[in-house]
Structure 1
Amino acid sequence: MSDGHAIFGPSPAGYSPNTGTPCRPLPCPGTTPGLVRPSGNRLPTTGKRPPFATGEEPFPFRFPHPAKKFLSPAEKRKRKRQNDVSLEKKKNRLPDPEPRDQRITAMRNRLPVLIAFIIVCIVVILAFLLRSATDHPPEKVENAQEITRDTRLAAGLKHSLFIDSEGRLWAWGDSRYRNRSSATPVKVADNACVAAAGDASRTSFYIDCNGTLYGWGDSQAGQIGLFSDTPVIEPMPIMSDIRAIAPGYDTPFAIDTSSTLWTWGKPNPSRGEEMPGEETGGNTDEPQKVMDLVKRVSSSATHTLALREDRSLWVWGKNDSGALATGSRIAQNRPYKANIAALESRPVVKLATKNLASFAVTDDGNLYVWGFANASLPGRRYTTLEPKTLPVRVGFVNNVADIVVGEAGALILKKDGSVWAYGIGPVTETVDGNWTKPVHLMDDVVEIATGPRHALALKKDGTVWSWGENDAGQLGDGTTCNRLTPVQVRFPSP
């Protein structure tokens, strides 16, 4: 059998008759391997594998695209996130900045609007602050400033007290301190702010600047916070958080820093006989609550006055003379609102009481009295005065800053610092049976105090002056001689 060349003729170039597969073309001498046209010209390399090519590559092939790489699901998600971030950046890309002149012009155009906005904000803030201040007024001074040094002098039955500018408490006369009398001042305590002395017994009180109430002296009725047949000769604490104390007639009254009124001691009519929730028919050494929201208090053996923070006056006790200002003479065992319409809603700055009589000073300097108001009719005897059941303004004196009353006389401190006295007894420099018109005693005074039969005055220069009876050395001048005119108290040298 003849071979394929015989049957089919010569085999085409690049084809094997035996295998039927492409064969390797032979390169031309001196040329680069590649495909050759029949004319002998070299075909350009296209990068595609020639059809039917087998065996060794006649030239290196280059593919225009790399082989496709299969990505894992995690890589796909990563690339998607990268593409999303790129798109987001393109979206958020700021436009090209405006030219400088245009920016300046725009800013100038916006400036009035910005200024107007700031002004409106300031106005709104100020209006809010003003409304808040109106809706929530600040607390009264008595609540914000718990302890004040407005009561530095005190005159008791046979003794006197004084707190100096350094907070030192001094006592002289028969105060029961260390169980001995002294005709010159003796230091009792430091850090004192308020002083008070009882005019029914030798009882003394002071409030330190931390609000603790201390007391010493006679305490048979429990007025020092305990029952004792012998005098308490050293100050002992009674209550805490106290800002005011009225010794009363062995029936003390204290106002705490929450404006609550407390009382203890003797069951005088001034204490009331049926206080809410308590039986007070006898002596007590435990403070009993009376009422809330109290600003000032004054008490005698017969009755008590309590000024509340709403400017109303509440009273209780005996009322034979009309000293309760209720318009009648009916006694009140519990706090009862008084009729003080005569004061014309003026704020009361001072209260004072004595048996069967009441006194009040308003902020405009007027003095009002009721009960056996012997202060309103000078020159008349005490027993011939008609009692008054409502407040009456005293017409012969004005510009009053304070009033204190003793057994049969009264002292008035005017706003100009002058001190005036009227009544009978050594305090008023007269001993006849008629009440005198006010007598001028001294000037440059900032505080006054009086016991039953002696008086004290603190002057602007810090000196203390005294006059009246002196049998126990209560004038502090180093003697036991009575004085009808003021003498200076002799404090020990520093």
Structure 2
Amino acid sequence: MRKISFGSPQYTCFHYFCCTAVLFSLFTMPCVSFAYEKSKVSAGWMHNFSLESDGTVYAWGSDDEGQLGDNDKNKKGKKKRVGIDALTDVADIACGFQYTVALKLDGTVWAWGDNMNGQLGNGTNTDNDTPVQINNLSNVTAIACGGFHTVAVGSDGTVWSWGENVNGQLGDGTNTKRNTPVQVRGLSNVTAVACGRAHTVALRNNGVVWAWGLNTYGQLGDGTVVSKMTPVQVVNLSDIIAVACGRVHTIALRSDGTVWTWGYNENGELGDGTTTNREVPSQITGIFDVIAIACGQYHSMALKSDGTVWTWGKNDNGQLGDDTYTKSTDPVQVGGINNIISIAGGLMHSIAMNSDETVWAWGLNNYGQLGDGTNEDKKTPVISEKEKKEKKQKITNGGKL
């Protein structure tokens, strides 16, 4: 098997993934050496992970396919945050539908959970309850998960992908699914990636965004509704510093703190005051001073420089956190939380971490994904509690990762 290596990892300070976001400086700050990212949260469809500043990893929510990585053969899921002791030296975590991917400080990538479409990238289609290394991939600087596909950025700025490919979301010019990484065609100097259910976007170091895959609702932002198997440039968009994807919509953050959106908008997830789909980017006029963005399936999130969180879109389960179940086509403030540094959106729930690493969650809670010990939906934020230390799960995987 061919080994994919990109030379010595040269990490930038912050990366953005599907459904997650972390505190971002509006200035470019290359890191001389890579330490842990700022504390962050990551959300899958119905499971979550949090990474603390000392490298401690916690998981909670659904575990139907082993996506929590805690080697629980009963796959009962967790209603509180459980420490994953054997996950060490983790730089970042991204969550897909029922699987999880971790980027380690040494640039290696590990994955676990559902593998029906080869999204774990280990050359098989076998599920794994514990992390397995993608052995032919190294010196990676960023990762992202879609519904059933995974994307990674190499230190040389190339992009690699694997998993489901029905709509060309792997960007290799085919619609053949892959269980090992293949290179995305025609892209260079990429710094960040994000994934929707079946589309992918990439941010280049010149602030321009490229996209490929499913385009039924204009989520590629190229002015058409024609799906693409190779990258196309998103039109009328520049100076972008972060990207995020919902199921079939895309959002981008400009260096001036403004937010731009395109794609599906039936629930108001574009935040432009309408429910009209957009095939090209449109600015959200009601929000400024944004430093991070994130998406759930049909809702969007923004973190402002003052530490407040704003949301818009679908709200059937309270995922907007505004104490209602009413969708909003304009940004509304999430009440009761402040000093937030990281945000993430799941299927129909949202999570946030504040500066003291307290995790808050709201919305759908059928698998305990809010981490409050219940299965009751919440329309305002509740604290995601840590399970008692003696109940932490250990991974038996031939030693620590």
SS in structure 2 opposite 1:307? strand
Quote the Cα distance in structure 2 between the aligned partners of 1:492 and 1:326. Answer: 46
Larger Rg: 1
Q: Which residue matches 1:396?
A: 286
1:163 aligns with 2:56: no
Using the TM superposition, give the Cα deviation of residue 148 of structure 1 relative to its aligned residue in structure 2, in angstroms: 5.5
Q: Which residue matches 2:386?
A: 491
Q: Which residue matches 1:412?
A: 302
Q: 1:493 to 1:376 in 2, by over 3 A?
A: closer
Q: Which residue matches 1:12?
A: none
1:357 pairs, out of 218, 227, 249, with 249
Quote the Cα distance in structure 2 between the aligned partners of 1:431 and 1:142. Answer: 42
Quote the Cα distance in structure 2 between the aligned partners of 1:456 and 1:422. Answer: 14
Q: Which residue matches 2:147?
A: 249
Using the TM superposition, give the Cα deviation of residue 401 of structure 1 relative to its aligned residue in structure 2, in angstroms: 1.3
SS in structure 1 opposite 2:306? coil
Unaligned runs of 5+ in 2: 1-27, 390-401
Q: Which residue matches 1:295?
A: 191
Q: Which residue matches 1:285?
A: 179
Q: Which residue matches 1:439?
A: 333
SS in structure 2 opposite 1:427? coil
Quote the Cα distance in structure 2 between the aligned partners of 1:151 and 1:351. Answer: 19
Quote the Cα distance in structure 2 between the aligned partners of 1:253 and 1:363. Answer: 24
The TM-score with structure 2 as length reference comes to 0.78
Tell me the alpha carbon deviations over residues 55-108 of structure 1, each in whole angstroms, 9 at most, x when there is no partner.
xxxxxxxxxxxxxxxxxxxxxxxxxxxxxxxxxxxxxxxxxxxxxxxxxxxxxx
1:312 pairs, out of 205, 208, 212, with 208
1:196 pairs, out of 82, 94, 103, with 94
SS in structure 1 opposite 2:262? strand
Q: 1:391 to 1:289 in 2, by over 3 A?
A: same
Q: 1:148 to 1:368 in 2, by over 3 A?
A: farther
Q: Which has the higher helix share?
A: 1
2:157 pairs, out of 252, 259, 274, with 259
Quote the Cα distance in structure 2 between the aligned partners of 1:165 and 1:146. Answer: 13
Tell me the alpha carbon deviations over residues 21-64 of structure 1, each in whole angstroms, 9 at most, x when there is no partner.
xxxxxxxxxxxxxxxxxxxxxxxxxxxxxxxxxxxxxxxxxxxx
1:330 aligns with 2:220: no
SS in structure 2 opposite 1:352? strand
**2:167/2:227 contact within 8 Å kept:** no
Q: 1:315 to 1:145 in 2, by over 3 A?
A: farther
Quote the Cα distance in structure 2 between the aligned partners of 1:182 and 1:408. Answer: 24
The TM-score with structure 1 as length reference comes to 0.64
**1:270/1:304 contact within 8 Å kept:** no
Q: Which has the higher strand share?
A: 2
Unaligned runs of 5+ in 1: 1-139
Q: Which residue matches 2:277?
A: 387
1:271 aligns with 2:169: yes
**1:143/1:259 contact within 8 Å kept:** no
Greater relative contact order (CA < 8 Å, ≥ 6 in sequence): 2
Using the TM superposition, give the Cα deviation of residue 194 of structure 1 relative to its aligned residue in structure 2, in angstroms: 0.4
Quote the Cα distance in structure 1 between the aligned partners of 2:235 and 2:36. Answer: 29
1:477 pairs, out of 363, 369, 372, with 372
**1:143/1:258 contact within 8 Å kept:** no
CA RMSD, aligned part only? 2.4
Tell me the alpha carbon deviations over residues 198-220 of structure 1, each in whole angstroms, 9 at most, x when there is no partner.
1x3x1011112111111111111
Amino acid at match of 2:370: L
1:172 aligns with 2:60: yes
**1:358/1:371 contact within 8 Å kept:** yes
SS in structure 1 opposite 2:319? helix
